[in-house]
């Protein structure tokens, strides 16, 4: 290995024969041509890769949109059923009104439980679910109060410590 490194270090271009020079130039040209071919093949694959990525994300977006639409339809059916139960109960005037009222209260309770859960809202423009930010904004307002109180405590402790450091000096 060291001998090879010494031969490379002591290489002298002036000692080459014309045949060695021609073969070296031909090898250099062939090497550059091969590198160009490899780069050409890779650049021809780039549009195909981009197309595959676009198709993948398009499929994901469409499948998410259909899931969101089916969830919204399920919620609409539950609300429609609750409204139907309320409408039929108001029309009934015989002795079965009391059990029907219990059914209405149960269906209203189910609807209220669904309202208490944090569910994403469906954006009517895109049809995609989006986060409900109202609860986050309430939490942020609460944390601002807590943060102000905590910062006041930290500042008070810092002042006491700084005052204690000054007294000991």
Residue whose token pair is 């108001």? 90
Query: Which tokens sit at 120?
Result: 């994403």
128 contacts 64 by C-beta, under 8 angstroms: yes
- 18-91 and 97-116 helices, crossing angle to 10°: 150
pLDDT tens, the chain, 169 aa long: 788 888 888 888 888 899 999 999 999 999 999 999 999 999 999 999 999 999 999 888 887 777 766 776 666 666 666 666 665 555 554 445 555 566 666 666 665 554 445 566 777 787 777 766 666 677 677 666 667 777 788 888 888 888 865 544 4
Tokens of 81: 């059923």
Pick from 129, 128, 109, 127: which is nearest to 118 by CA? Answer: 129
The confidence score (pLDDT) of residue 35 equals 97
Please report, for the chain, the start and end positions of each structural domain, with discontinuous segments joined by +. Answer: 2-132, 134-169
Q: What whole-number distance in Å separates Cα of residue 119 and Cα of residue 71?
A: 10
């Amino acid at each position: 290995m060291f001998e090879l490194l010494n031969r490379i270090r002591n290489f002298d271009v002036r000692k080459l024969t014309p045949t060695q020079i021609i073969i070296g130039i031909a090898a250099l040209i062939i090497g550059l041509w091969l590198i160009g071919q490899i780069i050409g093949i890779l650049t021809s694959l780039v549009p195909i890769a981009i197309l595959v990525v676009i198709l993948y994300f398009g499929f994901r977006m469409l499948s998410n949109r259909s899931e969101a639409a089916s969830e919204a339809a399920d919620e609409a059916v539950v609300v429609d059923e609750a409204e139907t139960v309320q409408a039929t109960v108001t029309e009934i005037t015989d002795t079965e009104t009391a059990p029907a009222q219990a059914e209405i209260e149960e269906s209203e309770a189910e609807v209220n439980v669904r309202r208490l859960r944090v569910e994403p809202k469906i954006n009517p423009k895109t049809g995609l679910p989006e986060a409900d930010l109202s609860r986050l904004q309430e939490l942020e307002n609460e944390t601002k109060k807590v943060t102000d109180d905590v910062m006041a405590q930290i500042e008070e402790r810092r002042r006491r410590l700084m005052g204690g450091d000054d007294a000991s000096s």
